């Protein structure tokens, strides 16, 4: 997910996306521990998406 897309969303939508992204990351980690993923870089991408969302939420918090 790009930062431009995140800036267009409201705070509630970002919070929901953050929850789903964290759940997806946990699921990827669990699946990878059981059997190796075909594309383990998905874990890295999920972590970066979470960081982008948290960064946008923090920037909005500081602007208030």
Q: Are 21 and 53 in contact (CB under 8 A)?
A: yes
- pTM equals 0.91
Q: At what angle do helices 11-34 and 41-63 cross, to 10 degrees?
A: 160
Query: Mind listing the pLDDT tens digit for each residue in 2-58?
Result: 889 999 999 999 999 999 999 999 999 999 999 999 999 999 999 999 999 999 999
The conformation of residue 47, written as its DSSP 8-state character, comes to H
Smallest Cα–Cα separation from 12: which of 41, 53, 44, 62? 53
């Amino acid at each position: 997910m790009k930062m431009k897309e995140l800036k267009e969303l409201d705070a509630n939508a970002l919070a929901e996306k953050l929850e789903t992204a964290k759940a997806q990351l946990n699921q990827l980690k669990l699946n990878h521990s059981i059997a190796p993923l075909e594309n383990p870089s998905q874990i890295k991408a999920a972590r970066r998406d979470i960081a982008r969302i948290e960064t946008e939420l923090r920037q909005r918090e500081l602007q208030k």
